[in-house]
Structure formats: C-alpha cells, structure tokens
Chain A
C-alpha cells in the first residue's frame, strides 16, 4: 500500500517535472519573439519603446484581471461550479507566448500564496491552462479564422468557439494526466471531466466574448488585430 502511494507520488512528480521543463524553453522564445517583428531597425526604436511600455501594462493588467476573475466561481449545474480560465482571452489580447507567461504568473500566485492547485501540480496546471488552453487557444482561434476575409466579422463567434475548445481540451489533457499518474483509470475520469467542462466551456465562451466586445467597443488595442497590420506593412 505504501509502495503504491510512493509510486503514485513518483509518477506525479515525473509527469510534473516533465512539463516544468517545457516552460522555460517557451519563455526563451518569448524573449526573442519581439525581434521577429523587425525590432532591430533604428527607425523603429522609438516606436518600439512606446509599444513595449504599453505591452508591459497590458500584460500586467490582463494578468490581474484573469486572476481576479478566476476567483469568481459561477454555478454550472447540480452542485458544480466553474470559473473563467482566461487562456483564449489572454492569447487574443496579448499574443500566444505572452499569454503563456501571464497564465504561468497567475497559476504560480494561486499555488504559492493561496494553496489553490498545489505546488506539485503546478507543472501540470501550467501545461493544461498555459500551453493547452492559452497557447493552444490562440491556434484554435487562428485555425477557425483561417479562411475568413473580414476578421472583425467572425471575431466574436470564433473567440467563443476557441474559448469553449480551450476549456474542453484542457479538461481532456488533465484527465490524461490524472490517468497517467495512476490515480484513476482513464475510462472513469475522461467522460466525467469532459462532460462537466463542456458546460463550463459555454460560460467561458460567454465571458470571453463579453470582455472582448467591451474592449473592442472602447477601442482597446488587441494583439490579434495588431498582428494583421504588421503583416500588411
């Protein structure tokens, strides 16, 4: 019995540390990410400065918004509640790698300061909510809007679907981790996790769309539109 518990613990740690390693690599990419947009030209220097300052503010405020809205649990059905994940929201406002960084900061604060999620599970949480939901969410959105001529027209619809997908995929990936760590078999966990998160995903989609439409109405700068412009130049 003790051996089984130890094995579970070992498996947990192994899965988690494997995921932990992925994060620094991606963070390094972020550090060089702005350079890809041609930041090394002299004429762009001052513009970059302004852009960078604005970006820092944007990252910090969106991060705090996601943290606080993750605290607000809404009831879903029959004694279950859900809360905003914010992956797609962050990815659309900030861009994919910045979103991953934001999610990492939010999840670290939750686990270290509030004991929510746990420090041992942090790696897995970052994988599920950072990589699968935020980084992945950006690419679900890109995939959905691939053929669209007018991004603004399909923007909110696609954001809703991407947000829903991000929650469901994060839940599926979490169930695989739970099964892989030997806690419970996949056939037990996967259907239960997926079903509850299908409902939670709807709320995620609604909240994401609501926040995005407010930001668009007030003419906030969103990375997803910004990017289209840089391609045109």
Chain B
C-alpha cells in the first residue's frame, strides 16, 4: 500500500510527541523569553481553561506520563482534524467534478 510510506511519518511523529518531547528544553521559548524580559508575559489573557493545560493530563499526576500522553493525544487530534478536513475538501472536489458531466 502506498499510504504506508506516510504512516511511517505518522509513527515517527507519535514517537516524537510521546518520547522525544520528554527531553524538550524547559527554558522559555523565543517569544516567552522576550515577554518575560520586558515584563508582558502576564498580560496574556486566558479565555477559558483548556482541558490539558501546559501539556498535562488532569487525572495523571506524573509529569512525565502526562506530557507523553498529551503529546500522543495532540498528535492524533491534529491527524484526525486534518484527515477529516482533507476528506471534506476532497468531497467538495469530487462533487464539483461530477457536476460538469
């Protein structure tokens, strides 16, 4: 199956999200660092609290397991979202093609 080639990429990203993300540097990233240095990090507003805030799962207290699960779940959510979006767009494409015949 041709699709298998891209599944390897998907498996790689699951591993990245689940395992490699544990070794991520905990230093603030570029924008956060500047925001911190210039004192506007706290100015960010939170509209509502997310389900898995800061890549942690509420029911699990281990930080390592939490990050790992959050990474895997997030990766799957993005995959599902794009797969459905792709299916949807593709459906439109087919409909449009059929109309002309």
Complex contact B13–A59 (CB within 8 A) = no
Q: Is A80 an interface residue (CB 8 A)?
A: yes
Interfacial chain B residues near A53, Cβ < 8 Å = 3, 90
A82, B29: Cβ atoms closer than 8 Å: yes
A31-B92, A73-B25, A119-B47 known; A184-B78 Cβ under 8 A: no
Decide: A105 and B38 in contact? CB cutoff 8 A. Answer: no
- In the bound complex, CA of A128 to CA of B45 (Å): 19
Q: Max chain B CB contacts within 10 Å: which of A12, A30, A174, A178?
A: A178
CA of A192 to CA of B3 in the docked complex: distance in angstroms? Answer: 44
Please determine whether A115 and B46 come into contact, CB atoms closer than 8 angstroms.
Answer: yes
Cβ contacts A67-82/B at 8 Å (1 or 0 each): 1110111111001111
Closest residue on chain B to residue A50 by CB atoms? B2
Docked complex: A183-223 residues within 8 A CB-CB of B: 183-184, 188-189, 192-193, 196-197, 200, 218, 220
Is B93 a contact partner of A35 (Cβ separation < 8 A)?
Answer: yes
Contact check, A71 vs B71: say whether CB atoms are below 8 A apart.
Answer: yes
Complex Cα–Cα for A138 and B84 (A): 24
- Give chain A's interface secondary structure class: helix
Interface residues of B in 1-55 (CB under 8 A from A): 2-3, 5-7, 9-10, 12-14, 16-18, 20-21, 23-31, 33-34, 37-38, 40, 43-55
How many interface residues does chain A have, given as a range? 35 or more
A5 to chain B, nearest CB (A): 9
Q: How far is the CA of A72 from the CA of B12 in the complex (A)?
A: 13
Inside 8 A of A31's CB, which chain B residues have their CB?
A: 89, 92-93
Contact residues on B (Cβ < 8 Å of other chain), bracket: 35 or more
Give the CA-CA distance A151 to B36 in the complex, in Å.
42
Q: Pick the most buried of A72, A118, A119: most chain B CB atoms within 10 A of its CB.
A: A72
A106 partner residues in chain B, CB cutoff 8 A: 78
For the complex, what is the distance from the CA of A35 to the CA of B16, rounded to whole Å? 35
Check if A116 is an interface residue, CB within 8 A of chain B: yes
- Given A68-B74, A74-B25, A54 and B3 contact (CB-CB distance below 8 Å): yes
The answer to whether B30 touches A68, judged by C-beta atoms less than 8 angstroms apart, is no
The residue in chain A whose Cβ has the minimal distance to the Cβ of B73 is A113
9 A-B pairs in the complex with CB atoms less than 8 angstroms apart: A35-B96, A61-B7, A63-B81, A67-B75, A67-B78, A73-B25, A83-B24, A189-B38, A196-B34
Partner-A contacts on B (CB < 8 A): 2-3, 5-7, 9-10, 12-14, 16-18, 20-21, 23-31, 33-34, 37-38, 40, 43-55, 70-71, 73-83, 85-87, 89-90, 92-94, 96-97, 100-101
Question: Which A positions have Cβ atoms within 8 angstroms of B?
Answer: 8-9, 12, 30-31, 34-35, 39-40, 42, 45, 48, 52-69, 71-76, 79-83, 101-102, 105-106, 108-116, 118-121, 171, 174, 178, 183-184, 188-189, 192-193, 196-197, 200, 218, 220
